[in-house]
A and B are shown apart, each in its own frame.
Chain A
């Protein structure tokens, strides 16, 4: 068993990147991701990590460097947040299209304006359709484990896609909590060297990122989408192996007390663990509730959701992002699609809350639960959504 260490989660994430023995890091500091970059630059500077640290002048350059470096077959890492992600947007799409297994941590933060350095998932949703494998981590340990998982899955010859790890800004990045580090031997067992199928090399020239007109573009894009959909198999086996190696077991959705639950909370990100406590308290009060924490944002686990919500009467979906002019938060929209063809659909209550790190307490989640039960009584086919805790709403 690895050593259990108390550390700020940003620093333990950087230590996981070190354990993955990356060849190159190109990143630009932005709150609340900064401590990850700072620690990695220290590790490289002190000689603890034999890698190139490229202090680029912008996030656009960071992802450009990562793309180039990954194209020659090197293991690369970057991380960003919010506006930084927006600036690198162009290359984020290209990295996926070119099938380059970069691992990026996104310290989730709102998109401006007004300027917010605080946490929510609006930055995630801005690149929802960029073609990366995207997983949510609920705590520091999950961040650590998923850095290694990211390389294991992304670099797999069956996958070859970049992997984005979502961790809530501040709420996770700035918390000090225990994380069990992996042993070197465990990393060796779990994570083989990166052996790209194609890499830029003068002896074996290939063309990457060429032109694709109407005659070929659709075929290239379908092959990319199929790769993302098919990556699920490798994702599942990489989680299985991770469980075998370090004894922590991950799934596309994590369920908590849903077996007999009439009402199921659905969350994404660090809300999950807090809501698990809400479930305990509500059960003590005689309520029949459970929880599903979504881990795999892309490819979205449609089947798992259909299966897990089969017996449920009501779903209470908690979104931490707005889809302006859309039908609820992004997670709710996805779930409605997932359940559209089901015969016995549960009722649906969607709440958007926690924007810019606004605290949503256990008492708040209980209020949300009660409000959801009221809504269901009023109109079981309610398709509206509510902002929770917004003055004047």
Chain B
């Protein structure tokens, strides 16, 4: 079982990211489970979403407190939420930031494996808006190949319709531009 906790702000698409990962897993014949932090939807408020993947049926339905990977969609979240809480010893933090891995590691005192990408810039250039959920999926897959990147293309197309290509471009660019610091 591989468990991911996603941090974002309401409206940024953290839930959608989790959902797309689940659909990609399921399409690969595996089991995927995605769900939001339950409650009213509040645009702008820090929110979390969860994703699990396994070869066997996923029976656990609790929130993820010891994730294998944490994905942070919004740079400002890094400084107001303890995103690495409960992260496994060999866990990975994948963050959206304009700083380098070394810089952010130093600023936040991080010891875990780290992957960084300037998703805001990519999203601005590819989509025209700083909605980083699809971009950050690229960062996530660069850090850990939970699913084959190709498996995400179909769910992305289905989800985004006429703006799917832009999202796919952002996703692919992030795979290339993510810096790993393991």
Direct contact of A and B (CB under 8 A): yes
**B window 1-44: CB within 8 A of A:** 18-19, 22-23, 25-27, 31-36, 38-40
What sequence of 0s and 1s flags, for each residue 32-59 of chain B, a beta carbon within 8 Å of any chain A beta carbon? 1111101110000000000000000011
Provided the pairs A118-B38, A174-B38, A176-B19 are in contact, do residues A274 and B32 lie with their beta carbons within 8 angstroms?
no
- B82 interfacial contact with A, CB 8 Å: no
Contacts of B58 in A (CB 8 A): 177
Contacts of A357 in B (CB 8 A): 38
**In the bound complex, how far is the Cα of B19 from the Cα of A175, in angstroms?**
9
**In the bound complex, how far is the Cα of B22 from the Cα of A4, in angstroms?**
13
User: Is there an interface contact between B39 and A6, defined as CB atoms closer than 8 Å?
Assistant: no
User: Is there an interface contact between A175 and B62, defined as CB atoms closer than 8 Å?
Assistant: no
Of A177, A271, A276, A360, the most chain B CB neighbours within 10 A belong to A177
Chain B minimum-CB-distance residue to A172: B61
A365 to chain B, nearest CB (A): 9
Contacts of B63 in A (CB 8 A): 359, 361
Provided the pairs A6-B23, A6-B26, A361-B65 are in contact, do residues A175 and B34 lie with their beta carbons within 8 angstroms?
yes
User: Is there an interface contact between B59 and A171, defined as CB atoms closer than 8 Å?
Assistant: no
- B60 interfacial contact with A, CB 8 Å: yes
Contacts of A236 in B (CB 8 A): none
**In the bound complex, how far is the Cα of B23 from the Cα of A359, in angstroms?**
25
- A117 interfacial contact with B, CB 8 Å: yes
A112 to chain B, nearest CB (A): 14
User: Is there an interface contact between B40 and A117, defined as CB atoms closer than 8 Å?
Assistant: yes
User: Is there an interface contact between B18 and A176, defined as CB atoms closer than 8 Å?
Assistant: yes
- A76 interfacial contact with B, CB 8 Å: no
**In the bound complex, how far is the Cα of B50 from the Cα of A218, in angstroms?**
52
Contacts of B35 in A (CB 8 A): 170-171, 174-176
User: Is there an interface contact between B31 and A273, defined as CB atoms closer than 8 Å?
Assistant: no
**A window 47-92: CB within 8 A of B:** none
A333 to chain B, nearest CB (A): 25
User: Is there an interface contact between A274 and B38, defined as CB atoms closer than 8 Å?
Assistant: no
In the complex, which of the residues B19, B59, B65 contacts A277, with contact meaning CB atoms closer than 8 Å?
Answer: B59
User: Is there an interface contact between A4 and B38, defined as CB atoms closer than 8 Å?
Assistant: no
What sequence of 0s and 1s flags, for each residue 93-130 of chain B, a beta carbon within 8 Å of any chain A beta carbon? 00000000000000000000000000000000000000
A53 to chain B, nearest CB (A): 24
Contacts of B60 in A (CB 8 A): 273-274, 277, 362
**In the bound complex, how far is the Cα of B59 from the Cα of A276, in angstroms?**
8
**In the bound complex, how far is the Cα of B33 from the Cα of A274, in angstroms?**
14
A301 to chain B, nearest CB (A): 22
Contacts of A177 in B (CB 8 A): 22, 26, 31-34, 58
Taking Cβ atoms with an 8 Å cutoff, the residues of B that contact A are: 18-19, 22-23, 25-27, 31-36, 38-40, 58-63, 65
Taking Cβ atoms with an 8 Å cutoff, the residues of A that contact B are: 4-6, 8, 31-32, 117-119, 170-171, 174-178, 270-271, 273-274, 276-277, 357, 359-362
Q: Could you list 10 examples of A-B contacts with CB < 8 Å?
A: A4-B26, A5-B26, A6-B27, A119-B38, A174-B38, A176-B19, A176-B34, A177-B26, A361-B62, A362-B62
By Cβ-Cβ distance, the 4 closest A-B pairs, closest first, are A6-B26, A273-B59, A170-B38, A176-B34
